[in-house]
Structure 1
Amino acid sequence: MSLENVKIVELNAENWYDCCELEVSTEQKEYMEPNAVSIAQSKFETSLKPYAIYVADEIVGFLMYNSVQEELDGYWIYRIMVDKKFQGKGIGKAATKLMILEMAKLPDAKKIVVGYHPENLGAHNLYSSLGFIDNGDRFGKEMAVIKNV
């Protein structure tokens, strides 16, 4: 599988249901809302931007970010997931890089923030590898890490 074939496509009438059928591994389920919940949320919070992650023509994941600045004066990543059948191949990292490029185009984009449970080592390793820094910010049970853009 070539990571050059990874792309993100805005959610639409043709791909939303396929995103609902994607699943994370059993261990990850406690850290993540189902994609159907995120998609529904995006219909009521219209600043949320949902995307399907593709490898070539196959949907393999889902991501979503907010196009309005929030806490810590940053734009927040809300979701990033890769289906359990496609994990461990660098797809999540490639898709997150593409999402960061999109988010960097937002008005006055200086910081991108993501929150995750401290025990979610997969998320920790992903965001650390992309230059996100833990400044000690906590929101409930989640830690928030920041990347300057």
Structure 2
Amino acid sequence: MRTSTIKITELNAENWYACCELEVAEAQKPYMEPNAVSIAQSKFETTLKPFAIYDEENVVGFLMYNSVPEELDAYWIYRIMVDQRYQGKGIGKAASRLMMEEMANTLNAEKIVVGYHPENQEAHRLYASLGFVDKGDRFGKEMAVVKNL
């Protein structure tokens, strides 16, 4: 697993369409909106910050977080996805760490929350490995896990 080549870059005119073309594995599709929907959402909810995930020069994933605190008095991660061709290589974990560094540095975030469907085992493993803790918070069909920085 090599993650030193992973970087995140704000969504821009050069990488937005490549993000729209990325897809998660078939089993994950019920749990996640297409990236195009998230990108459109960020244009109307201007506090959302979308990023492309790169492995070297290739766009391999997408992530987005909110730049203002929300429920649980925390900053929320809205999306983390890695294209099905690149999953299982540590890219999601590396990109998530970079995103949390970005949030800590630019927002002075001390608490980060991410919500996901309880049946999404891949998301559960990722967030647990990053130190997110389930404190019993639920929002609709999603569970919310918390990480204090």
Matched, 1:110 2:130: no
How much does 1:104 deviate?
A: 1.0
Alignment partner, residue 69 of structure 1:
69
**RMSD between aligned residues:** 0.9
User: What's the counterpart of residue 136 of structure 2?
Assistant: 136
SS at match of 1:4: coil
Aligned length, in residue pairs:
149
Q: SS at 2:37's partner residue?
A: helix
- Cα deviation code 1:96-149 (max 9, x no counterpart): 000000111244522000000000000000000010000000001100000001
Residue number in structure 1 paired with 2:121: 121
Where has structure 1 moved over 6 Å in runs of 4 or more? none
Indicate conservation of the 8 Å contact 2:2/2:90, yes or no. no
Gaps of 5+ in 1: none
Q: TM-score scaled by structure 1? A: 0.98
Partner of 1:51: 51
Identity among equivalent pairs (%): 73
Q: SS at 2:41's partner residue? A: helix
Q: Does 1:23 align with 2:23?
A: yes
Q: Could you tell me which residue of structure 1 aligns to residue 60 of structure 2?
A: 60
1:14 and 2:14 equivalent? Answer: yes
Distance 1:71-1:106 versus aligned 2 partners, 3 A rule: farther
Name the CA distance, whole Å, in 2 between partners of 1:110 and 1:129.
18
Unaligned runs of 5+ in 2: none
CA deviation profile, 1:52-86 (whole Å, cap 9, x unmatched): 00000000000000000000000000000000000
Q: TM-score scaled by structure 2? A: 0.98
